[in-house]
Amino acid sequence: MTGKKANKQLIQNNIMNKNQTHKKNNIKIKYNDVKEFLQKNPKIFKENPELFEFITPPSRSKDNLVDIQQYMVESLQNNISKLKDSNSELIFLAKENQKSQEKINNFVIEIIKTKSLDELTQFILYESEKLLGLDYVNLIFEETKNKKEYNFDKKIIFVRTKSLKPFIIENEYIFLSKTSKKNEFFFTNFSEKILSTAIIQLNLFNGSPAVFLVLGSKDSEHFDERQGTELLKFLRQCLNSHIQLWQNQ
């Protein structure tokens, strides 16, 4: 083989080897690799506009012309619209939280105004529904042999310990949920359907009977397990302190 032919063959072999290596490397590159690279290099197309030649933009063609700018603008507009929706939802939730805070604060003020345990009980059972904007408010007592001692009002319900066991949990005092078979027994004396509930375990007596303040709404979205419980914890602390204050007198 002559020198020229040998060099030509060597060049062809090098080209073939490079092509094969290039193909192998291409096989290893995955979609996530490309995505990660573009995320780390957001200016890649701005600094290297020639790369647009090798990409296929989303199809917005007319007469074989692609308007990449229009696509980018619409994409930004969609993102802005989503952000506006998210901000609107946050503003709505903030306003609802402020309303709830005002209701709880007014409730606590009325608790402080009461001058006896009987007056406090009457307020909780008969006046707090309207103040809190709810459809149901009641005190639920664990069934006990000496329930006459705790039968402050005919509206109060006494429930078997077996039914209350899931709610008598140490360090868990606030239960928010939709109404289900698990908690619907709290509303057996109520004619209308309660769809969401807040069940607050109070700490009024040493040991038994367990006592619960039960709040109910016909709105299924009023209480939800994803909601925060800070305001209800504050309400619970106020009730515990004030009821115990009247018990000790």
Q: What is the pLDDT of residue 60?
A: 54
φ/ψ of residue 183, rounded to 5: -130, 5
What confidence score (pLDDT) does residue 134 get?
Answer: 92
What is the distance between the alpha carbons of residues 186 and 194, in angstroms, rounded to a whole number? 10
Which carries the bigger pLDDT value, residue 170 or residue 11? 170
Question: Of 228, 169, 243, whose CA–CA distance to 198 is shortest?
Answer: 228
Q: Report the candidate in 218, 182, 214 with the shortest Cα–Cα distance to residue 198.
A: 214
| 205 Cβ neighbours under 8 A, 6+ residues apart | 211
Give the pLDDT band of residue 195 (cuts 50, 70, 90): very high
How confident is the model over 78-94, as a mean pLDDT?
68
Residue 138: pLDDT band (50, 70, 90) is very high
What pLDDT shows up at residue 16? 55
pLDDT band at 11 (very low <50, low <70, confident <90, very high): very low
Pairwise pLDDT comparison (4 vs 33), residue with the higher score? 33
| Position with higher pLDDT, 52 vs 238 | 238
Give the span between the Cα atoms of 215 and 135, in whole angstroms. Answer: 8
pLDDT score for 8: 47
- Residue 23: Cβ-neighbour burial (10 angstroms; 0-12, 13-18, 19+): exposed
C-alpha to C-alpha distance for 69 and 130, rounded to whole angstroms: 56
In CATH, what class is 94-247? alpha beta
pLDDT band per the 50, 70, 90 thresholds, residue 105:
confident
